[in-house]
Amino acid sequence: MTTAPVRLPEHLIHPFAPAGRPDPYPAYRWLRANDPVHHDTASGFWLVTGHADCATVLRDPRLSAARGQRERAREDALPPSMLTTDPPDHHRLRAPGALLLGPAAVRSVADVIAADTDALLDRLATTPGRPDAVADIGRPLATAVFARLFGLPDGELTRFETLARAASANLDPMAPPARAALGRTAATALGRYLDAHTVRLTAQGADVPLAALAADTRLTRPEMLGILNLAVVGGWQPLAEFVGNALHSLLPDRAAVRRLAAADDDLARLAVDELLRLEAPIPFTARVATAPVPLTGGTLPAGARVLAVIAAANRDPDVFEDPDTLRLDRHPNPHLAFGGGPHFCLAAQLVRQAGALLLPRLVRRFPALRGPDGPAAWDLTLVPRRLRAYPVDLCPAGEAR
């Protein structure tokens, strides 16, 4: 016996439709309450929207990340990396990846990243007109961070940023064919660039995390380059987009702005997690069920193409009190913005640390910082979730700079 597919009510816009992308949360809310394991006939994916079920999807070995990546709208395989493999290969690649993005690597560049952040704010103070939080803060911050990890010379930063932005199409498991083709081309160009750069670093005997990764004999050259490619797409891109997304949630709440300006390191880190919970740059992640998987909200059949909808799980009222409200000191905060299980994002500490360095410094330096009036200009891409632009007033008219 088969049942008719559940459909969204007519008053709700499908979250993947262009008109639904600026605010997908009403649709996610309805799905989570009425059909939390939903077969979406438009995309062919099963959408899992509850927090507990999403956590299961991210951890259960019957949900394959490797097969999930092969379901992307592309004809070629992504480079071998933690993203495209399941255990045990995933574990074999993840351990060397920590040389690039793990705690010790992040600590090794922490002081210079703090100095880079201060220099970025100095430049921002002299930017004419209204600087853009995406182009003038988020991307330069991410590029400065990765320049330190990768040992990039100043003259290469623009090229690196251009390649990194273009390669972001590889994050989207539902990218349309034309965009997926551009992502393939960009990933190939990024791989060639990083390969040549690594050769130069090795010849120079540079002491940076990328050089340590390149020297690790556990990896083949393609595997090492796959980890670098993933670090850029899965680390640079979310950090770059996080800043605009975070300010969009933060700046309307002036009490939260004042509190963040006075925050110590612990509150700053809590604030970053809360802002990631509200607007995660990676709103869902793909898996394929290799066997039937029973969940609280329903059963995923074998062969199901599954999206764990992190953006919906992160606002589940069964887990988060007042889930649509910004609470800078929310604790505990078991959000899934970095995924979960064996594929928990290796760049999580990097994003948290960079965000906790930037945001308090930004609102201390510019306490009157304001965002634009009117609705936000969300990009039509599904992954990453990002703003096309977010112009800010550092010092609105009538207030001293």
Q: Per this entry, what is the length of the chain?
A: 401
Give residue 177's pLDDT.
Answer: 81
- pLDDT tens, position by position, 340-350: 988 888 899 99
Give residue 246's pLDDT.
Answer: 98
10 Å CB burial of residue 18 (0-12, 13-18, 19+) is exposed
Cα distance from N-terminal residue to C-terminal residue, the chain: 69
> Residue 99 carries which side chain, given as an amino acid letter?
L
Q: Are residues 98 and 105 in contact, defined by beta-carbon separation less than 8 angstroms?
A: yes
Task: Measure the CA–CA gap between 164 and 281, rounded to whole angstroms.
Answer: 15
Residue owning tokens 């939903």? 38
- pLDDT tens, position by position, 250-280: 999 999 999 999 999 999 999 999 999 999 9
Give residue 74's pLDDT.
Answer: 43
- Whether residue 323 is predicted with pLDDT greater than 80 in this model: the reply is yes
User: Strands 387-389, 298-300: parallel, antiparallel or unpaired by DSSP?
Assistant: unpaired
Q: What is the DSSP string of 33-59?
A: HH-SEEE-TTTSPEEE-SHHHHHHHHH
10 Å CB burial of residue 153 (0-12, 13-18, 19+) is exposed
Token pair of 75 as six digits: 């004809």
Give residue 399's pLDDT.
Answer: 54
Task: Measure the CA–CA gap between 358 and 113, rounded to whole angstroms.
Answer: 10
Token pair of 79 as six digits: 């480079």
- Whether residue 1 is predicted with pLDDT greater than 50 in this model: the reply is no
Token pair of 52 as six digits: 């507990």
Token pair of 106 as six digits: 């992040």
User: Strands 46-48, 305-308: parallel, antiparallel or unpaired by DSSP?
Assistant: parallel
Give residue 69's pLDDT.
Answer: 59
Beta-carbon neighbour count of residue 71 at 10 Å? Answer: 18
Confirm whether pTM is higher than 0.85: yes
10 Å CB burial of residue 9 (0-12, 13-18, 19+) is exposed
- Whether residue 321 is predicted with pLDDT greater than 50 in this model: the reply is yes
* 188 CB-side CA count, 13 A: 8
Q: What is the DSSP string of 55-90?
A: HHHHH-TTEEHHHHHHTSS-SSPPPSSSTT--TTHH
Q: Which residues contact 119 (CB under 8 A, 6 or more apart)?
A: none
When comparing pLDDT for 175 and 267, which is higher? 267
User: Strands 63-64, 298-300: parallel, antiparallel or unpaired by DSSP?
Assistant: unpaired
- In this prediction, residues 51-79 reach a mean pLDDT of 76
> Residue 107 carries which side chain, given as an amino acid letter?
R
* pLDDT band of 355, cuts 50, 70, 90: very high
- pLDDT tens, position by position, 133-148: 999 999 999 999 999 9
Residue owning tokens 């965009």? 179
- In this prediction, residues 384-390 reach a mean pLDDT of 95
Distances (CA, A) of 19 to 14, 43, 106: 8, 16, 39
- pLDDT tens, position by position, 180-225: 788 888 888 999 999 999 999 999 999 999 999 999 998 999 989 9
Give residue 134's pLDDT.
Answer: 96
